[in-house]
Structure 1
Amino acid sequence: MTGTLLARRPGTGPAPLPWLPLTLTVALLGTAIAYPLSSGAARDAVSWAIVLLGSAVSVSHATVSRGARTGAAVFVVVGVVAVLFEALGLRTGFPYGEYVYSDTLGPTLLGVPFLVPLAWLMMAWPSWVLAARLTSRVRAPRRRAARVAVAAYVFAAWDVVLDPQLVQAGYWRWAHPEPGLPGISTVPLTNLAGWLLAGLVLMTLLDLLVERTSRPPRIGDVAPLLTLGWMVLGGALAHAGWLGLPGSAVWGVVLALPVLAALAVQERRRRR
């Protein structure tokens, strides 16, 4: 499978800096390992590094694999949608529920810390790339709808693992954290509903922009897929073993199982 992911389509020309996305991913994985082993100001620094590296993986991979126009489009659309949704949520409680950010997150735009749209960027592109892979054999008339739905699911599932961790770190808090998913008492179900809605909007826009700006992929998708897999499943492991968050650890695995099963079926068919 790795060979398939790394393969370059014939006729697309050599990709500039083809090593950059994977190099950033390796740095990201090493930094993520440091998170549960750190505390206090050091953990805050690690959190910033993870988000900066993760967003750099997304933009660099979109740029190297599908062209500079796509990289720029991904950066702009994700950033704008993230700020608008988060600003709306802060002022109205829709669609996530009522929450407030901590001052530790630094400078803001419309009340939204800069770290937040970068976190969306880290999550959005890998979610879309995985969805594109999972829905590649869906019939053309239904492929976009399937791709957007799967990408929104992956996007929201990632947050199920991430949000309890960042609430624990004190980066934000919910006014009414219950009812939540069983085993997660700090994040309300309204947040999951909000992420699904935001994901559907974001992935629809992202899909349209990629269609209009993208070249045929010039490198494989190892970097974003490895980022996604490590941050979700590795995050679940960290939650269970070091962070004292067993509920989100279990949910991370449960929500990943359909995706892993679909990938296994797809790989089996490819080998026939």
Structure 2
Amino acid sequence: MALWVLLGALVLVQICYPLTHGGARAGLTVTTVVIGYALSVAHAGLSRGARAAVALVATATLGGFAVEAVGVATGFPFGTYDYTGRLGPQVLGVPLIIPLAWTWMAWPAWLAALRLARSRPARIALAAAGLAAWDLFLDPQMVAEGYWRWHSPTPALPGVPGIPVGNYLGWLGFALVLMAVLAVAAGAPGNRPGDRDAPMLALWLWTYASSVLAHAVFLGLPWSALWGGVLMGAAVLPLLPALRRPA
């Protein structure tokens, strides 16, 4: 029940996001990530034990911070970029909220892949593709708000200026590493009742659907709605018929 309450709070905050501006919107961004982080880590621990929760934090939180710090310092693997300071305290040029965002979405991406694929390599590939495709929504939205910026934002996807294509490739590369390590570190998936993962699968589906709607209707970002809708949809939409089958 507590996980569903957290999910409800996250949905409510995200609904409020397009209704605000400036500092209030930045505050809702941070709040969303904190709630999402708590939801994912709590679910990992409750559904699969302490080992899975620790593995998630080690790979996505610590790993996410490490790759972002390297990225800000060197331009690898995302391109040359920096954060503007609007997302709160920073360490090594990285807002502390950023590695929490990696963790928040890495876990539902992994759980969806567990439901859709049987072999470990297929699960790693599918989870990484889903997580990287989420960035087709995330980066355009955050760049539009001025939370971070690229120094060399070309070549970019058609209709999505300000973000180099190499950034998305960097996301995919790191996501593959993250999921490969998580697959080993978290231990065997185990035979769990399907409803154990229901809050996280609902989060995954909500994130996709709400992102398409928000970008297309409320945020004035129709091209990112299209790119994200197609490419993240390829990873997310197969989950709908899969949910009708036993876990």
Q: TM-score with structure 2 length normalisation?
A: 0.93
Partner of 1:48: 30
2:174 aligned partner: 198
Question: What residue in structure 2 maps to residue 8 of structure 1?
Answer: none
Any unmatched runs of 5+ in structure 1?
Answer: 1-18
Q: Does 1:158 align with 2:140?
A: no
Larger Rg: 1
Match of 2:221 among 228, 245, 257: 245
Q: Which residue in 2 is equivalent to 1:58? A: 40
Partner of 1:12: none
Change (3 A) 1:111 1:257: closer
Match of 1:75 in 2: 57
Q: Which moved more, 1:165-174 or 1:228-237?
A: 228-237
Q: Is the 8 A contact 2:116 2:242 kept in 1?
A: yes
Answer yes or no: is the 8 Å Cα contact 1:58–1:121 preserved in 2.
yes
Q: Provide Cα deviations, 1:67-91, integer angstroms capped at 9, x if missing partner.
A: 1232122122211111111111111
Structure 2 CA distance, aligned partners of 1:106 and 1:263? 35
Report how far residue 146 of structure 1 moved: 0.5
- Matched to 1:40, the amino acid is G
Q: Distance in 2 between matches of 1:76 and 1:171?
A: 25
The amino acid of 2:92's aligned partner reads L
Is residue 158 of structure 2 the alignment partner of residue 147 of structure 1? no
For structure 2, the residue ranges without an aligned partner over 5 or more in a row are none
After TM superposition, the structure 1 = structure 2 runs for residues 217-256 of structure 1, keeping only pairs within 5 Å, are: 217=192, 220-256=196-232
The match for 1:189 is 165
| Structure-2 separation of matches of 1:104 and 1:125 | 26
- SS of residue paired to 1:173: strand
**C-alpha offsets along residues 118-139 of structure 1, whole Å, 9 cap, x if unaligned?**
111111101111111110xx3x
Give 2:185's match in structure 1, choosing from 209, 212, 225.
209
Partner of 1:255, secondary structure, is helix
- The runs of at least 4 consecutive aligned structure 1 residues that moved more than 6 Å come to none
Distance 2:101 2:16 in 1: 18
**Inter-CA distance 264–115: structure 2 relative to 1 (3 Å threshold):** closer
2:156 is aligned with 1:180: yes
Aligned residue for 1:7? none
